[in-house]
Structure 1
Amino acid sequence: MLSSNDLALIKIINSHYFIKRDNIVSKIEHKGRILYNKFERINEYLSPQIMKEHAEGKIVVAHNLINAADKVENIVFDYNGINAERFYHRAQLMLREEGFINFTAYTSKTRGHLHLYIHKGHTAFSEGCALASKLSAMMAQRMPVEWRVFPTLDLPREYNILALPYEVYQKERGAAWSKHM
C-alpha cells in the first residue's frame, strides 16, 4: 500500500473522487461518439479509509486530474504495454532531455502496466493537453504506442480521471541531476 508521502508527490485532488460501478452510470456524447461511463462521482473527501479499500481491491477508486480552477498538476502516461521496464527507461531519458526532472511511475492494477506522473505544477488544462500530446508524439518516435496520455481533449472532462496507483515503481527527483542541465 502507498504511504501518504508517495501520494503527496502527485498532488491528488481529494475534494471528490470516483468509484467504479458494475453498471453504466451515465452516457456521454463527445465529438460524434457515445461513451458509457462506469465511474460515479462522489462529492466527498477522499479519505485514507477509501484509499485503503482501493488498495485491498474491494473497490476501484479514481481521482480527477483537473482541479476546480481548470488546472492540472500532472501529465500522465497510462502505459498498457508488455515491457514496462523498457518504457520507463525510454521515458525517463526523454523527460530528462526535455528538462522534466520530477516524475514518478506507479504500478496499476494490471501487472506490468504503469502510470507515469510527470509533475508539472499549476498548468492550464489546454496547455496541459498540448504538452501531453507533444510528449506522447516524441515518445512515439522511439517505441510503439502502447499508452494513453492525460489530460486529453479527445475525451470529455469526466474521462480525464485515473485509478489510484497501487505502489511506487520508480521515482525521479532530479535535484542532483539538474545541475548538469
Structure 2
Amino acid sequence: MKVFDLDLIDTHYYIKRNSIVEQIQFNNRTFYAKFERIDEPLTPLLLEQHLQREYTIAAPLLENGYTDYLVIEYKGEEYQRFHYLIKHLFDTLHIEKYHIYQGKSEERIQVFIEVDKLSLEEADKQLKELSNLLKQKLTKKWKCLPDISLPEAYNIITLPYKKLI
C-alpha cells in the first residue's frame, strides 16, 4: 500500500474501533486491542476516509518477523523542537532515507526511517540506540516501533495525515 512516500505492507490493515476487539496474551501480559485486523488490501476510498478523519487506519510494520521501517512517534508540546532535533541527529548519523509526517494532531510527529528487511531484534536494538541519543536532549515523549516487547498486533502504526518533509 502506498501512503505518501511510504510503501507499507499491503496484505492487511487495521481499523480502530470504539471498543476492545481482541484480548491478546503475550509474555505474561494481557493487551486489549481496539484495532481490528482486516485481511485485505487497503482501498483508496478507505485511505481517503482516513485522511478525512472518518476512520483511523493503521498499517502493520512486521511481515514474517522483518520490517522495512523504523518508526519514532513523538507526542508532546515540544513537537517543533523534536522535529528539528531529529533532523539534526539524522544528519550527524548520516541517516538519509527518512520521512517525517504529522499524525492525527499537530503535536504528533511520525518519523519513518527506511531500512532493508531488518529483523525485529535488530530493529529494536537500533531504535533503542536512537532513543537513547534523543533522551540526551529531550524529555522522552515518544515511542519506537517495531518493539520486541509488544505483540504483532501492537506493532502497527496509524497512517500519517500530512507530510512534513
Q: Flag whether TM exceeds 0.5 (same fold).
A: yes
Give the ranges of 4+ consecutive aligned residues of structure 1 lying more than 6 Å apart after TM superposition.
Answer: none
Give the corresponding residue for 2:15: 19
Unaligned runs of 5+ in 1: 171-181
8 Å CA contact 2:4, 2:163 repeated in 1 = no
Which amino acid in 1 is paired with 2:78?
A: N
Report the CA distance between 1:8 and its aligned residue. Answer: 5.4
Give the corresponding residue for 1:53: 49
8 Å CA contact 1:28, 1:37 repeated in 2 = yes
Report the CA distance between 1:130 and its aligned residue. Answer: 1.0
8 Å CA contact 2:57, 2:158 repeated in 1 = yes
Give the corresponding residue for 2:68: 73
1:89-138: CA deviations, max 9, x gaps?
11111112122111111111122211111112221121111111111111
Aligned residue for 2:7, secondary structure, equals: coil
Q: How does 1:1-181 map to 2 (within 5 A)?
A: 7=3, 9-67=5-63, 69-170=64-165
Moved more, 108-117 or 7-16: 7-16
Identity of aligned residues (%): 27
Moved more, 26-35 or 128-137: 26-35
Distance 1:70 1:32 in 2: 20
TM-score normalised over the length of structure 2: 0.93
Unaligned runs of 5+ in 2: none
Which amino acid in 2 is paired with 1:33?
A: R
Distance 1:78 1:30 in 2: 23
Cα RMSD between the aligned structures?
A: 1.3
How many residues matched? 164
Distance 1:33 1:70 in 2: 20
8 Å CA contact 1:10, 1:74 repeated in 2 = no
